[in-house]
Amino acid sequence: MANWSTKTDACGVACRQRLAIKCASRRTHLKSALATAVVALADCCAASDAKPMKPSTSLASFQEFLKQQHLAKSELTVPQLVERTLSFYQSVRATGLITDAQSDMLLFQWGVFDWGHGERFEFDITRQFISSGAFGDDAISQLHCTAYFPPSPELRAIPAASRWCSSAADVESFLAFIRDSAAYRAVNSLKPAQVSLHWEKV
């Protein structure tokens, strides 16, 4: 009887341990799902409150989009920059564009550049618009979201390059490309020296 009791107790302990593991796994899954839902809800609320956006008001619209999610430009991390710019592209569409599938696109570009103020590594996501009622370069404008880093040897070793995303339907594969890129892997955990948001005509 003593042996049977011991085995029964051991079995009970094992069962409780398995149950605890299952419950912990479920809690982790629920927390992850809840976090995803919260981000999606925040995006939805930001989009629903957004005013109709023209290319010329895209900077103000994006700044308001970040503000509604309690994010400051100066505090953006690279993962946040990527997630917020892509979410903004999906949820806040532009008006006053030509009727062309490529009138509103995203461009991911990176590399070490010197525009007259010293070399810096740039991690940039640009939203490009082609407005109606204008021709050639006069119709093109861009909203730039750029994180800057000191050009370390590791960052200098990454060749400068770029990648386009031509529609909201391609965002998922575009995001996968960004996260798998050498540029993202090199800077995703680093604090940018500067984050810049600006809109300009080409």
pLDDT at 24 > cutoff 90? no
Tell me the mean pLDDT in the region 152-157.
Answer: 98
Percent of the chain with pLDDT over 90: 71
Residue 182 has what pLDDT? 98
Tell me the mean pLDDT in the region 13-29.
Answer: 47
The answer to whether 159 touches 183, Cβ cutoff 8 Å, is no
Give one word for 96, left, alpha or beta, with left for phi > 0 and alpha for psi -120 to 50. Answer: left
Residue 101 has what pLDDT? 85
Which residues face 105 on adjacent strands?
128
What's 130's DSSP letter? E
**Entry pTM:** 0.75
The answer to whether 67 touches 49, Cβ cutoff 8 Å, is no
Give, in order, the Cα–Cα distances in Å from 13 to each of 50, 149, 187: 55, 53, 46
pLDDT at 154 > cutoff 50? yes
Question: What would the two tokens of residue 148 be?
Answer: 């800057």
Q: Which residues contact 69 (CB under 8 A, 6 or more apart)?
A: 42, 43, 46, 84
54-98: pLDDT as tens digits: 999 999 999 999 999 999 999 999 999 999 999 999 999 999 999
